[in-house]
Amino acid sequence: MRYLSRRQFLASTAAAGALGAAPSLLASGGAAFAAQAATVRVGTRVIDVNGRAATVFGLTQADGSHGLIAQAGQRFRVRLENQIDEETLIHWHGMTPPWQQDGVPGLSQAPLAPGAAYDYDFPLERPGTNWMHSHHGLQEQRLMAAPLVVRDPAEAGADIQEVVVLFHDFTFRDPDEILAGLKGTGHGAAQDGPGSPHGKMEPMMPAGGMDHAAMGHGSMAAGAAHLHDVDYDAFLANDRTLDDPQVFRVERGGRVRLRLINGATATNFRIDLDRLEGRLVAVDGMPVVPIAGRRFEFAIAQRLDIVLELPQGEGAWPIFAVREGERSRTGFVLATRGGSVAKVPAEASEPVAAVGLALEQRLRAARPLPARNADRRHTITITEAPGYVWMLNGAVHGAHVPLEVREGERVEITFADQTTMAHPMHLHGHHFQVVAIDGERFAGAMRDTVLVPSGGNVTIAFDAINPGKWALHCHHLYHMAAGMMTTVEYRA
């Protein structure tokens, strides 16, 4: 993947049109580009993972760039071409399109057959760090995921360098075999991993100050709650491991906006800025009251925008994403021209704590929902059953009862997690506000994905302003594939 250098970015943003890519479309753009559509091809790529070649999917433009950069206020005009030999469909995560363009097979539209194309066209109302990924089968595990950044025209020309990084959890195994192993129906699939067998309970991390026990969720039976059910061969940052990390050249004393995307299928990370301190300015593309820090919780499918003020001298600064409960990490490096990039170990010196809601509780939306009482309340209980069955309100997807809303209502949904794992819950087509954790109300962040910890309750609120049929699901890919999806449907 290639991204704009700061100079290219500064030079190009003034001239940028409706949709661009990083970097060449924008660089060669100009006003004429505003009327053009971008084409995103679903294809395959070969990447190198710790010295071993891996064939993965890609969402690539004609110039080879991966993903899209767009501008708020323009239209999202994208032709999606399926150039692989199986059906697919891409969801524009963080966007609020008309529901028929939301990219969920069987709900918004039919999947795209091999060789088929579809033209998307909807207004881009809000800037934000978003992404695109397959919503079909287990394709997301094989890296059918890419950045979808919507820039704010009001920030064009600002003296800040943009660094876009998508994180992923990588396996050489066949995702279908992984799922079969989790369900207990595979043949030897569970024995392949280097760690503990799949589907078995792993003890949760000892209290690290910010884990569930410290969050008041300590009522789970000791050893029952667990963090992981899939082992991985590597963790990637823009397709790279720390053996050969991407190095972004930065200017001495420059300002950087990290646009971080957790594109992992089953891994919550902790972002570690190492020697730098940053200001978290947005989550899931939505602005928050800035929070200064070096470490930030980062659940599956979420995004973090972090602004850095670099030191004045030459230097090189690694930025890490560490898998919760473990030492395994990936990352990238910011380095000045004269900064020497040293090799950094692929493991943190000690395991990091589980990802919980410590950060969530501190977040406050910079632009919250208007104060209003709920017109409608739904509760979703999250339960599990033997054989790797994950349910919302007692049903797997297909057997579910849709959650009904009416246009114009303020809706609240409370997730009550009665399972042994945390679940990153994602609502399509809307941005919601986190308004309560374990019944304690507060005016939290605007988001599209919130982590619901084992034994915990999280309440979200949103305004029903985008009629249609919308997916609401756990963003842990294997949980979703095992049934953990329902729908929010508007009634007349």
- Provide the binding-site residues for Cu ion, judged by CB under 5 A: 423, 474, 476, 479
Residue of 479, 475, 357, 486 whose CA lies nearest to 419: 479
Q: Please work out, in degrees rounded to the nearest 5, the angle formed at the alpha carbon of residue 107 by the alpha carbons of 167 and 489.
A: 105
| Least Cβ distance, residue 483 to Cu ion (angstroms) | 10
| Least Cβ distance, residue 474 to Cu ion (angstroms) | 3
d(CA 419, CA 328): 25
d(CA 154, CA 218): 45
| Least Cβ distance, residue 267 to Cu ion (angstroms) | 12
Residue 188 CB coordination number (10 Å): 8
| Least Cβ distance, residue 480 to Cu ion (angstroms) | 7
Decide if 424 contacts 434 (C-beta within 8 A). no
d(CA 282, CA 321): 18
Q: For residue 354, give every residue at least 6 positions away whose Cβ sits within 8 Å of its Cβ, in sequence order, or none.
A: 204, 205, 208, 210, 211, 212, 227, 268, 324, 325, 422
Decide if 455 contacts 417 (C-beta within 8 A). yes
| Least Cβ distance, residue 448 to Cu ion (angstroms) | 16
| Least Cβ distance, residue 473 to Cu ion (angstroms) | 8
Q: Is the Cβ of residue 33 or residue 470 nearer to Cu ion in the bound state?
A: 470
| Least Cβ distance, residue 57 to Cu ion (angstroms) | 22
Decide if 407 contacts 420 (C-beta within 8 A). no
d(CA 153, CA 150): 9
Q: Is the Cβ of residue 319 or residue 482 nearer to Cu ion in the bound state?
A: 482
d(CA 13, CA 6): 11
